[in-house]
Amino acid sequence: MRRDVRPAGARPVTLLIGAHTPEAGGIAMAVRRAGAAGMTAVQVFTAPPQYYGEKVGVKPDRLARFREACAATGIPPAHVLVHAGYVLNTASPEPEKWAKAANGLAKELERSTILGTYGCCFHPGSAGKADRDAGIARVADAMTRALEAAPPGTTRLLVENTAGAGATIGRTAEEVAAILARIPAAQRGRAGYGLDTCHLFASGHPIHESPAQLAAVLDAFEQATGEPPAFFHLNDSEGALGSNRDRHRLIGEGEIGVEPFRWLLHDRRARGVPLILETPQARDDWADDDASADAYDVRMVELLRTLAA
Ligand SMILES: [Zn+2]
Ligand SMILES: [Zn+2]
C-alpha cells in the first residue's frame, strides 16, 4: 500500500498546481496552455469523454508531441493527471454496459500508462436501483481488470469522489474505502483515490466551516482508505452544502468561498500531488494551434499561489 513517504519536516519544492486546460489541438496543446498559464501540473482527456473510447490507442507521433510539450513547458508526464470519460459507468448492473465501461476503463489506464502520466481518475458511476454493495463490487472488479491488463508502469488508477446525485457511488469515505478494499494486494499499489472540493461540499461534507472541519473530512478519508488522497480537484460549488449538485464555480464565486482553499493548500496532504482546477474558463473558441493561456485559468492559478504563500 502506498504511504506518504516524504521525510518529516521536508519542504516541497513547489505545489503541483494546474487545471484541466482547453483541449483543442490535443493533449500536447493542453500541456502548452498549462505552461503558458504558469502551471506545474495539468489534467487532460486522452479520448473524447462522452464516448467509451475502448478502441482509442496512443500513436507514436501523438506520444512524441506530448513529450515535446512536456519538455518545453517543464511539466513532466508525472505531473499530468488524466480524466477518464464521463460515460464509463463501472457500477452498472447491466452486463453489456458494465463490460463496455470496464473495457473503456482498461483502455483509459493503458493510454495513461503509455503516456507515462501520474494517474487516471474516473467517476465510479451509479448502480441505479440495484444493490449499492454489488455496485461497489462491480467498480472494484472493473478497476482490477484494468490494473491487471495495464502495461508496466507507475501510472495509478484513481477513484474520484462524487457530488452524490442520484445513486452515484463514492460520496463518502466509507464507499471509496470499500471500493479500494476489494482490489487484490498485487494491484492495490497502483489504485487510489482523489477528492474534488465541489463534490465533497455538494455531498454534504462541511469543508467550509473551519480548518478543523476540513482536516476532519480529509482525516476520515485517510483513515478509511489507509492513505491520503492522490490528487485534489479545486472547484468552488454553485450548489449549497449537501445539494448533490455537480456545478463548478470559480474559486471565491461559489458557496465554499476562498478561505477553505487556503486551509487546504496549507494541509500536508496538498503537497506533492496534482491540485487541478476544473473551474469555468474565459473562452471556449480555441484554435488548435493557439497555445496561449486562458485568462480565468491564469487568475485562478495566481489566486492559489497567493493562498499557498
Ligand atoms: Zn471528475
Ligand atoms: Zn464535478
Per residue in 189-232, pLDDT (tens digit) is 999 999 999 999 999 999 999 999 999 999 999 999 999 999 99
Ligand at minimal distance from the CA of 81 is 1
Helix (H, G, I), strand (E, B) or coil at 266: coil
For residue 237, is pLDDT > 50? yes
pLDDT band at 90 (very low <50, low <70, confident <90, very high): very high
How far does Cα 52 stand from its chain's mean position? Answer: 18
Q: What is the pLDDT of residue 130?
A: 84
Report if residue 96 sits inside a domain.
Answer: yes
Ligand at minimal distance from the CA of 170 is 1
User: In the Cβ-directed half-sphere of 233, how many Cα atoms lie within 13 Å?
Assistant: 33
Taking a C-beta distance cutoff of 8 angstroms, is the pair 82, 112 a contact? yes
Ligand at minimal distance from the CA of 234 is 2
The angle at the Cα of 192, spanning 265 to 239, to the nearest 5 degrees, equals: 55
Report if residue 229 sits inside a domain.
Answer: no
Q: What is the mean pLDDT of residues 156-170?
A: 95
What's the distance, Cα to Cα, between the start and end of the chain in Å? 32
Q: What is the pLDDT of residue 14?
A: 78
**Residues 296, 11: Cα–Cα separation, whole Å:** 29
What does DSSP assign to residue 268? G
pLDDT band at 102 (very low <50, low <70, confident <90, very high): very high
For residue 2, is pLDDT > 50? no
277 alpha carbon to ligand 1 midpoint, in Å? 11
For residue 124, is pLDDT > 80? yes
Number of structural domains the chain divides into: 1
Give the environment of ion ligand 2: residues with CB less than 5 A. 246
In sequence order, what are the residues at sequence separation of 6 or more whose Cβ sits closer than 8 angstroms to the Cβ of residue 100? 52, 54
Q: What is the mean pLDDT of residues 183-191?
A: 98
Ligand at minimal distance from the CA of 201 is 2
Q: What is the mean pLDDT of residues 112-125?
A: 98
In sequence order, what are the residues at sequence separation of 6 or more whose Cβ sits closer than 8 angstroms to the Cβ of residue 245? 163, 165, 202, 237, 238, 239
For residue 88, is pLDDT > 60? yes
298 alpha carbon to ligand 2 midpoint, in Å? 20
Report if residue 172 sits inside a domain.
Answer: yes
Instruction: State the average pLDDT for the chain.
Output: 95
**Residues 19, 39: Cα–Cα separation, whole Å:** 8
Report if residue 202 sits inside a domain.
Answer: no
Taking a C-beta distance cutoff of 8 angstroms, is the pair 159, 180 a contact? yes
- Tell me the three cell numbers of residue 75: 511539466
Report if residue 212 sits inside a domain.
Answer: no
pLDDT per residue as tens digits for the range 106-117: 999 999 999 999
Q: The CATH number of the domain where 174 resides is what?
A: 3.20.20.150
123 alpha carbon to ligand 2 midpoint, in Å? 10
Burial class of residue 165, CB neighbours in 10 A (0-12, 13-18, 19+): middle
Burial class of residue 180, CB neighbours in 10 A (0-12, 13-18, 19+): buried
Report if residue 277 sits inside a domain.
Answer: no
Ligand at minimal distance from the CA of 235 is 2
**Residues 237, 1: Cα–Cα separation, whole Å:** 32
- Tell me the three cell numbers of residue 7: 521525510
pLDDT per residue as tens digits for the range 241-283: 999 999 999 999 999 999 999 999 999 999 999 999 999 999 9
Could you give the C-alpha distances from 152 to 75, 111, 149, 187, in angstroms and in order? Answer: 22, 12, 9, 12
Which of 307, 308, 296, 309 lies closest to 249 in space, CA to CA? 296
Report phi then psi at 124, rounded to 5. -65, -25
Report if residue 2 sits inside a domain.
Answer: no
For residue 7, is pLDDT > 70? no
Q: What is the mean pLDDT of residues 139-154?
A: 97
Q: What is the pLDDT of residue 225?
A: 98
Q: What is the pLDDT of residue 274?
A: 98
pLDDT band at 35 (very low <50, low <70, confident <90, very high): very high
136 alpha carbon to ligand 2 midpoint, in Å? 20
Report if residue 204 sits inside a domain.
Answer: no
Q: What is the pLDDT of residue 40?
A: 97
User: Which domain covers residue 173, as residue numbers?
Assistant: 18-195+283-308
For residue 3, is pLDDT > 50? no
**Residues 61, 226: Cα–Cα separation, whole Å:** 40
For residue 12, is pLDDT > 50? no
User: In the Cβ-directed half-sphere of 176, how many Cα atoms lie within 13 Å?
Assistant: 34
What percent of the chain lies above the pLDDT cut of 90? 93
Taking a C-beta distance cutoff of 8 angstroms, is the pair 267, 197 a contact? no
